[in-house]
Structure 1
Amino acid sequence: MGEQHGCQTCHGDTDAHVADPTMKNVLVYQAKGGSAVDELSAKCLACHDSDTHMAMWKMSKHSRNDISCFNCHTMHATRGAVDQPTKCFTCHRDIKVAVNKQSHHPIIENKIKCSDCHNTHGTATQHMIKDDTVNQLCYQCHAEKRGPFVWEHSPVEENCLICHSPHGSRHAKLLVEKVPNVCQDCHDWSRHPGTPYDANAGFTGSSPSNRFFARSCLNCHGAIHGSANFENHGLRQ
């Protein structure tokens, strides 16, 4: 905004309020200020009218939950007074717990921020992510997992979140479960049985429990995102 703005630009008829403080015709940007949420947001959007702010706001999850601009933005303080994750964690406390787990995206280290993945003003996608699908969003940073591969692992093609938690996990590599449990959610005993133990097989480094219960899936299947060999099902080369 190049032009100068005074109190009345945002608060309305402040002169009348000064003349008679009992008049409640001014906009108050506080949670319990008495002004309607839609009215407050409309006042902000009168100036901040770019497509970034306007296009999806009214149908966004934030707007539908009566979140107004002032819930996240301060009108008088300078930008950056509070870092973005701290502000988001005010409401999203479950995410604050997640990003402090052992395995997490580096949000608390200030290497990425919430808006790298989410558009807080709304999108046409679930969870207000900034790309058309979860996978497309993940591939912006994790391009090496994209392929194309000769052998494709179906869950990888479908949705990264089948195996990974997006914010944090108590398991390595943000996995939703530890290996082999995460593997056995799909590769159960009936569909992917272990190899019967043969004491004479000469397969060193294995044991009956490893081979029957898939405790060492990643020892053999290291290329879990995809492989250049159609027949090897992600086996290490």
Structure 2
Amino acid sequence: MEKKISVFLFTLSILIFFMGAPDTGKGNADYVGSETCKGCHEDTYKGFLKSVHGKKAISGSPVNREGCESCHGPGGQHAEKDEKKGTILAFARMLPAKERSSRCLTCHEESKGSAFWDISRHKSSDISCDQCHSIHKGTGKSLKGREPELCFTCHKDIRAQANKQSHHPVREGRIKCLNCHDPHGGLGPKMVRADSVNELCYKCHAEKRGPYAFEHPPVSENCLLCHEVHGSNHNSLLTWRVPLLCQSCHSVEGTHPTRPYTNLHSFSGSATAGKNRFFGRSCLNCHGNIHGSNHPTEEGRTFVR
């Protein structure tokens, strides 16, 4: 009986020993250090040393300041793989955008501007941090390209608008996309850096803010009722040419002949015949203070002065 117990205990001890032994084969997930990474990824390693990430202490992994492995995870299994690409680590293209960004948020969750990332349009559209930011290269914000070309990579419709004859001077470099939009999200619509479109516009166009004694309702409601944001083929970024833009609201017959001009209606006829039509900038020739007026007269109420 004692012999059987001895054999059982010996066998059990052998099993426990092998179960507890560290895996030194291809399943090893130990940290191997950046020098090991350098052996295969020398160009990437050299660029990393010059980057913001390379110059700062990286505390994103359980082992502080592990260099490459702070973001990519332990590289033991990756380094021991026989295949050329080895085991895929973080930031592999097949990984979901949320998982790739989660690596960045390990350190950058409290960074300035990231408070609204979870409710941003970029996140909900499966845009990951590494689609705009370079992990291994660059300084400062480490963007993969210059504005506005980086933004135009996805927003091709905005590129077309910015090339129209009337446009905000983005392509001239006088303003940037980031002057108006926060790519990491915000409380305003369209990721703008304000609570509303009007508040954003007023940052540059303060003279249009008011308050006025006589307010023009569409102006105080939303600038975009009359203006395009990025570009237009009409003067002053207008959504439609004058007088048709004005007549889209002021269509009731009154003091002026307000029938909209189309190709079916000509300008022929005398002024007394009732066939004259507004054309060109004629509305604005008289109603010059179209955003609002403080003049305490009827001319002020009608935005003439």
TM category, shorter: 0.7 to 0.9
TM-score under structure 2 length normalisation: 0.68
Q: Check the 8 A contact 1:99/1:108 in 2, yes or no.
A: yes
Query: Please, which of 280, 284, 291 is the counterpart of residue 225 of structure 1?
Result: 291
1:66, distance to aligned residue in structure 2 (A): 0.8
Larger radius of gyration: 2
- Matches of 1:153 and 1:70, distance apart in 2: 45
- For each residue in 1:93-152, what CA deviation from the matched residue of structure 2 results, as whole angstroms up to 9, or x when unmatched? 000000111000010011111111111111122211110110000000000111121111
Query: Please, which of 211, 216, 219 is the counterpart of residue 282 of structure 2?
Result: 216
> Which residue pairs with 2:177 in the alignment?
114
> Which residue pairs with 1:91 in the alignment?
154
Q: Check the 8 A contact 1:155/1:162 in 2, yes or no.
A: yes
Q: Check the 8 A contact 2:132/2:143 in 1, yes or no.
A: no
Matches within 5 A, 1:132-211: 132-190=195-253, 193-194=256-257, 199=272, 209-210=276-277
Q: Check the 8 A contact 2:229/2:237 in 1, yes or no.
A: yes
- Matches of 1:84 and 1:214, distance apart in 2: 36
Aligned length: 226
- Matches of 1:214 and 1:45, distance apart in 2: 55
Matches within 5 A, 1:73-88: 73-78=133-138, 79=142, 82-88=145-151
- Give the superposed CA RMSD: 2.5
Counterpart code for 2:174: K
> Which residue pairs with 1:47 in the alignment?
107
TM-score under structure 1 length normalisation: 0.86
CA separation of 1:86 and 1:9: change in aligned 2, threshold 3 A: same
Counterpart code for 1:15: G
Counterpart code for 1:103: S
> Which residue pairs with 1:15 in the alignment?
76
Counterpart code for 1:141: C
Q: Which has the higher helix share?
A: 2
Structure ranking higher on relative contact order (CA contacts 8 Å, 6+ apart): 1
Counterpart code for 1:236: V
> Which residue pairs with 1:129 in the alignment?
192
Q: Does 1:57 align with 2:117?
A: yes
CA separation of 1:68 and 1:194: change in aligned 2, threshold 3 A: same
SS across alignment from 1:219: helix
> Which residue pairs with 2:127 in the alignment?
67
Counterpart code for 2:75: T
Q: Check the 8 A contact 1:10/1:43 in 2, yes or no.
A: yes
- Matches of 2:88 and 2:131, distance apart in 1: 21
Stretch moving more, 125-134 or 19-28? 19-28
- Matches of 2:254 and 2:112, distance apart in 1: 47
SS across alignment from 1:41: helix
Give 4+ residue runs of structure 1 displaced > 4 Å after superposition: 190-193
Q: Check the 8 A contact 2:212/2:292 in 1, yes or no.
A: yes
> Which residue pairs with 2:90 in the alignment?
27
- Structure 1: 5+ residue stretches without partners: 200-206
- Structure 2: 5+ residue stretches without partners: 1-52, 59-64, 259-269
> Which residue pairs with 2:19 in the alignment?
none
Counterpart code for 1:97: A
CA separation of 1:36 and 1:80: change in aligned 2, threshold 3 A: closer
1:21, distance to aligned residue in structure 2 (A): 5.0
